[in-house]
Chains A and B, each alone.
Chain A
Amino acid sequence: MTESLIWLLAFVAAYVIYTLFWGVASARVERSAEDFFLAGRQLPAWVFVLCATALSLSAWSFAGYPALLAVGGVRAGELALGAIATALTGVLFLKRQWLLGRLAGHITQGQMLSAYYGGEAMRVLGVLIALLFAVPFAAQQMVFSAHLIEKLSGGAVDPNVALWVLGFALFLYACFGGLRAVTAVGALQGLLVVAGMIAIGCLAYMHLDGFAPLQQALARMAAGGSAGSATAQGYHPWFAVPGVVQFTAGLGRENPVGGQWTAAMILSTGFALMGLQATPAFTQLALACRDARGFAPQQVWAGAGVAGLVLLFFALAAGAGAPAVGTDAAGDVVTYWIGSLSDSAPWLAGLLTVCALAAVQIAAAAYATTTATALTVDVFQRFMVPSASDRALRLAARLSVCLLLLCALLMASFAPRLMVHAGALALPSAAQLLPALAGLCWWRWITRQGATLGLFAGLIAVLLTEPLGGAITSALGFELPWGRWPWTIHSAGWGLFCNLLICVPVSLATRRSGDLAGQERRAEHHRLLFEHGGAGAPRRLQRPAVWALTLVWFFFGMGPGVVIGNDVFGAPGAGLAGWLLGVPSLWAWQVLWWSLGVIALWWLAYRMELATVPRRAVEPAEVASAGDEEPAKPRAPLWVRNFLRRVT
């Protein structure tokens, strides 16, 4: 056994013991199902800040983003601005969902949407989206951690063994302690993820001998040109966005000139990232909060500020700097950087592995626990055993956690292709919840029919613009005429387009329909939201200005205006002498719009009071939960109900 393996196993073992400790400690203070589902609605603000930041970053930012930079170059760094877009979703929706959760006692997002819109479709679709995160998306992240351990142990640890052992450890603490344990461990995971990303960035700078050699390496690369993949303007594809949009048939059928990262692709991927804070998991995390004090700091300072800073300066060095030191591990740069310490500082390599593990486990644990809650409340209790006791609910939730993690591990081990294809649906599908959440929190005119049909249409569009949809239609004997992401627009963009195309006209057509009870219910919800969460009169005067700034930000930061950034601070191939700020123009453009994005978010969250503590005290149960006010009738077959009663 080598020294590096000993340190690796020691750090991983210490981490697993820590998670188990909090699993048991959380189980000891658990008194009710609400304790398991929502940590007793007593989550401290600082724990929310750390957990939500870790969950926003997760393994995608820790490992996926640097890998993307190593392959796609500085222009893929545009996705760092996704930190602003993600936080914007939180600013717009989380406080209002928290308010509704407090006022009506909701536990899940599906319950909330169902109570507001009426009907059960939103509830079921919400659970389906949650399942995408809990099974294939979580499985993808767990596979990364298993491969990392395999590579760093020099092949001594089999990836499948690592996968199942880590999965079992995760199961134990998530199953014992529920959301309380997940958030307790998540607090440390948040710190580890951010510190780990900074440490890997510093490692890259150390290997490159500082910032100046990175500048020179980038200048050399930009001046050198590229073999046949330059943009239409003749720029190196690493340093320029290849146009606003390219009307190609999609990846796999027609490759865009200069790469896929057009402005349309960046914007639509930003929409996908916005889906992250629209997921049922984030809603439950918000509902678990004791008060609203954590929302604004998380969204403005931690989620947009710190995360953006880390992505733009440290992850970018780790990703774009990797080719400069001559590594060919383009798709796996994080493993490369951590592995570079195996001989010289194996203890640091062990610790950074734990940081990567934390990035994976926060996502897997949070999605498994919250989806288990959704399955318990929105399926088991709603449709099968409405009179389930508190103990039965907890047991059902624990069994659901077990089942979800088992599915994720089996998928990771035996169906890796399905895992990748189904996992790719998760984020764009969550983005389809945005119009429904906009109706819940802001726009009263969005009706049940509009939101439900729009969501359904959006999910279909997402499926058909991802490889899984193509595979399904092929199996049905029908070939789609497009590949993945046609017109260089991400599936989230296509989904939202179809979603809104259905949602808006249907809502306008049905807003005055005969459902008077539904109209009154929605009006009552919005009246209460306005009373508790509305900005004061002076603030309302600032509203046009701040929304204009937000739209301008989207246009120039992530939208068509990005192409201006290609050469506004110097042509990409002009080298250090021609770069006005000493770095590629696009990088400087990203930093500029990240700073402006943080300012816009600060204005929205604090000045417009979209994420601050409500001025009026929140009295529970001010809203009648429409979907739940009449006792639900069990709809499962009698034998299923009898079986469940016996088991639980």
Chain B
Amino acid sequence: MESMLHDNERRLAVTTNWAFFGSFGLALAVSGFAGAHLVAGCAGFALFAAGFGAHVLLNHIYGTAFTKGEVALGFVVFTVAALSFVVSWLAAPAFPVANIAMGLVGFGALVACFLAYMVYHHGVRGSIGMFDRIRLNDPVFAREALAESARAERKRRARHSGTARGQR
């Protein structure tokens, strides 16, 4: 039950975070692209980056990593948005320069945030190696990843039960 509440609380924090930063980020980014307002668009992307940073912080607070669903959703949303931007750029002859700059800066900043997180969390070698092992579908990596995930879960549970004991 305690674990369920803990998971629920973390999920609440994550959804609140993205519902807030995501909605304002989306509204500002769309405003930026619609009116070729560089400041509004960049502010929108900055909010997305802030949402990502806050999510990482929440993961740290709750002692977890990104869930598979979160990773999948993140990649899908990012890919769709980036593809939309590229297609608009290539297909629309009158795509304003300000929008191109905004998209490049914004998507570039998001990629930079992601890379910074990877490097901080897994190290340079680990980050690159992880992609290699994923590509090769290495069973050793799968075992290591599972073991790492189990270790993180045990650590989280131990920390959480310690907190609960302290409260009691």
| A177-200 vs B, Cβ < 8 Å mask (1 yes, 0 no) | 000000010011001100100000
Chain B residue total in the interface (Cβ 8 A): 22
Q: Does B92 contact A (CB under 8 A)?
A: no
Interchain CB contact under 8 A, A47 and B12: yes
Question: A354 — which chain B residues lie within 8 A by C-beta?
Answer: 23
Q: Which residues of A contact B27 (CB under 8 A)?
A: 345, 347-348, 350-351
Tell me which residues across on chain A come within 8 A of B167, comparing CB atoms.
290-291
Contact mask for chain B residues 1-41; partner A; CB cutoff 8 A; 1 contact, 0 none = 10011001101110110011001101110110011000000
Asked whether, in the complex, the Cβ of B16 is within 8 Å of the Cβ of A31, the reply is no
| Measured CA separation A290–B16 after assembly (Å) | 19
Whether a CB of chain B sits under 8 angstroms from the CB of A44 is yes
Please report the number of residue pairs spanning A and B whose Cβ atoms sit closer than 8 angstroms. Answer: 50
Q: Inside 8 A of A44's CB, which chain B residues have their CB?
A: 9
- Kindly state the separation between the CA atoms of A444 and B11 in the bound complex, as whole angstroms: 44
State the majority secondary structure of interface residues on B.
helix
Interface residues of B in 63-110 (CB under 8 A from A): none
What are the interface flags for A152-194 relative to B under an 8 Å C-beta threshold, 1 for contact and 0 otherwise?
A: 0000000000000000000000000000000010011001100
Residues of B within 8 A of A47 (CB): 12
Pair B24/A25 contact, Cβ less than 8 Å: no
How far is B12's CA from A347's CA once the two chains are assembled, in angstroms?
25
Residue contact B19 to A29, C-beta cutoff 8 Å: no
Interface contact B35-A345, CB-CB below 8 Å: yes
Minimal beta-carbon separation of A64 from chain B (angstroms): 24
Interface residues of B in 133-168 (CB under 8 A from A): 167
B31 near A40 (CB under 8 angstroms)? no
Report A-chain residues with C-beta under 8 Å of the C-beta of B9: 44
CA distance A18 to B12 in the complex (A): 11
A291: chain B residues within 8 A (beta carbon): 167
- Which of A40, A191, A192, A344 makes the CB contact (< 8 A) with B5? A40
**Cβ–Cβ < 8 Å partners of A42 in chain B:** 5
In contact, A191 and B20 (Cβ under 8 angstroms): yes
B52 CB to nearest A CB, Å: 17
- In the complex with contacts A29-B4, A29-B5, A348-B16 CB distance below 8 A: no
B20 and A345 form a contact (CB under 8 A): no
Find the A residue at minimum CB distance from B4: A29
Cβ < 8 Å to B, chain A residues 8-41: 11, 14, 18, 21-22, 25, 29, 31, 40
Residues A188 and B16 in contact in the complex (CB < 8 Å), given A347-B31, A351-B24: yes
Q: How far is the CA of A602 from the CA of B5 in the complex (A)?
A: 32
- B54 to chain A minimum Cβ distance, whole angstroms, is 11
Q: Could you list some 29 contacts between A and B, CB below 8 A?
A: A11-B23, A18-B15, A22-B12, A25-B11, A29-B4, A31-B1, A42-B5, A46-B13, A50-B16, A184-B12, A187-B12, A187-B16, A188-B16, A188-B20, A191-B20, A192-B20, A290-B167, A291-B167, A345-B27, A345-B30, A345-B31, A345-B35, A347-B26, A347-B30, A347-B31, A348-B27, A350-B27, A351-B23, A354-B23
B-side residues, CB < 8 A to A, are: 1, 4-5, 8-9, 11-13, 15-16, 19-20, 23-24, 26-28, 30-31, 34-35, 167
Extra 17 A-B pairs, beta carbons < 8 Å, given A191-B20, A344-B35, A350-B27: A11-B23, A14-B23, A21-B15, A29-B4, A31-B1, A40-B5, A46-B13, A188-B15, A192-B20, A195-B20, A195-B24, A290-B167, A347-B27, A347-B30, A347-B31, A348-B31, A351-B23
